Amino acid sequence: MDTTVHRATALERARALQPLLDQHGPEMDRRRELTPEVVEALVAHDMLRLLLPRSLGGQEIHLLEFCRTTEALAWADASVGWFVNQSNVSSASSAAAMPREAAAAMFGNAREGLAWGARHNNSRAIRVEGGYRLTGTWNFASGGRHTRWLGAHSAAQNPDGTPHVRHGRPDDRTFLFPRASARITDDWHVLGLRGTGSDTYTVEDLFVPDEHAPCREAPEERRETGPLYPIGSTLLYATGFCGVTLGLARRMLETYTEVARGKHSRASINPMARNNAVQREIGLFEARLSAARAFVHEAACQVYDASAAGRLDVDTRVRLRLAATHAMNEATDVSVACYRAAGTAVIFDAGPFERRLRDALTASQHLQAMPAMIEMVGRHVIGVDSVPQFI
């Protein structure tokens, strides 16, 4: 790795990549995966080990810097920002709970990312000597075309079908295996975030050894002591995905502002730049986006600092949950409003709006942005008897 890479911050490296990502964005959208040039640039700029423990050659950057880094990448291309977030959180949360030698062998190279799909209840992981026998199908493996490793989440069972118990509770694990061990289904034909290549994959009776089957959220198995790792994968994902939506919205707002500077709508007596309604609208968009961004940055710092001090509690976690979900929805609303306001020029494929609108709408459908998350926060604030989730 070029030593000049590590003299620059992750955010500086992300900004340096923006011209390349801009150039390759339409082609990545067409191919439904990142281009080889972009993958090589991500590796060269060491963008797949941002959260990986330093003990394994990673950078273990601050949560705030990670949010700002995914935002900078998504400003240029949302699929790249999405992949970088997904791979970094997956790799780091797995490595922190794996035996050191196994983690180093899997993630020690700057080229090694990790992709996986969402957990569900239709898989089997049978406990056997030395590991597990895994069977199931998972989808939404974002970036899986560019990683040598895939993962899958499943509850574990004994050979007789009863739940396997470890640490006094049902054993729920993440299973890591070579991509070559899975059957890939090319079904990523979607509205937006097309460049993530989030295919479906299947394994049948695949043996996964214990050292490749971490329980990522179990404190009993966590081997790393840095502030990132007690935060847990859910809030790490939330912060990074929030950065993606903020970057998209910022680019949409900047582009709309440029349109307003040079356009005279036939529906108005004044040029857009001199139209009071347009002026007010752009000011309000800026306020909404900046306020949402400031909230999530503040909450990310509070969670990180509390984790570093060993005082990370439910209230602090819930605050970041609220900030991230709120910011994702505010960013989506700003993106859509900018598209609506900019007129007919935005509808052309070759223009700067169309692909980014599709990306923004697709990102808004992720679990992390769902209104139910905010309802859960409201129940916690009111004091209704419920268990906070996804924190």
At 160-181, the pLDDT tens digits run 999 999 999 999 999 999 999 9
Angle of helix 314-341 relative to helix 371-382, nearest 10 degrees, comes to 140
On the question of pLDDT at 315 being above 60, the answer is: yes
3-107 topology per CATH: Butyryl-Coa Dehydrogenase, subunit A; domain 1 (1.10.540)
The string of pLDDT tens digits covering residues 216-235 is 989 999 999 999 999 999 99
Specify whether the CB–CB gap between 21 and 31 falls below 8 A.
Answer: no
Q: Where are the beta strands (DSSP E) in 142-264?
A: 149-155, 165-166, 169-170, 172-178, 183-185, 199-209
Specify whether the CB–CB gap between 271 and 264 falls below 8 A.
Answer: yes
Residue 5 has a pLDDT of 61
Give me the chain's average pLDDT, please. 94
Query: For the CA atoms of the chain, what is the radius of gyration?
Result: 22
Residue 273 has a pLDDT of 86
- The model carries a pTM of 0.95
Q: How confident is the model at residue 4 (pLDDT cuts 50, 70, 90)?
A: low
Residue 343 corresponds to which tokens in the numbers above? 């007129």
Residue 336 corresponds to which tokens in the numbers above? 């859509």
Residue 271 corresponds to which tokens in the numbers above? 């040029």
On the question of pLDDT at 289 being above 80, the answer is: yes
The string of pLDDT tens digits covering residues 140-163 is 999 999 999 999 999 999 999 999
The string of pLDDT tens digits covering residues 330-363 is 999 999 999 999 988 788 888 889 999 999 999 9
Torsion over CA of 198, 9, 301 and 152, rounded to 10 degrees? 20
Specify whether the CB–CB gap between 176 and 94 falls below 8 A.
Answer: yes
Residue 269 has a pLDDT of 63
3-state secondary structure of 277: helix
Q: SS3 string of 8-26?
A: CCHHHHHHHHHHHHHHHHH
| 114-220: CATH number | 2.40.110.10
On the question of pLDDT at 1 being above 60, the answer is: no
What number of CA atoms fall less than 13 Å from residue 278's CA on the CB side? 25
State the span(s) of the chain assigned CATH 2.40.110.10: 114-220
Residue 389 corresponds to which tokens in the numbers above? 């989730």
Q: Enumerate residues 6+ apart whose C-beta is below 8 A from 378.
A: none
CA 260 to the chain's CA centroid: 32
User: Quick one: which of 292, 305, 308, 167 has its CA closest to 224?
Assistant: 308
State the span(s) of the chain assigned CATH 1.10.540.10: 3-107
Return the DSSP state at 175.
Answer: E
Place of tokens 């939330």: 238
Whole-angstrom Cα distance, residue 116 to residue 9? 27
State the span(s) of the chain assigned CATH 1.20.140.10: 232-382
- 205-225 burial, b at 16+ Cβ within 10 Å, e below that, comes to ebbbeebbbbbbeeeebbebe
Q: Which CATH number fits domain 232-382: 2.60.40.180, 3.90.1150.10, 1.20.140.10, 1.10.490.10?
A: 1.20.140.10
DSSP characters for 57-79? Answer: T-----HHHHHHHHHHHHHH-HH
Q: Which run of H or of E encompasses 32?
A: none
Residue 10 has a pLDDT of 98
Q: How many CB atoms lie within 10 A of CB 368?
A: 22
Range of lowest pLDDT (37-41, 100-104, 259-263, 319-323):
259-263
Whole-angstrom Cα distance, residue 77 to residue 268? 33
3-state secondary structure of 54: helix
On the question of pLDDT at 240 being above 60, the answer is: yes
Whole-angstrom Cα distance, residue 75 to residue 251? 5
On the question of pLDDT at 108 being above 60, the answer is: yes
Return the DSSP state at 163.
Answer: B
List, in sequence order, every residue forming a beta bridge with 170; answer none if it has no partner: 165
Place of tokens 């840095």: 226
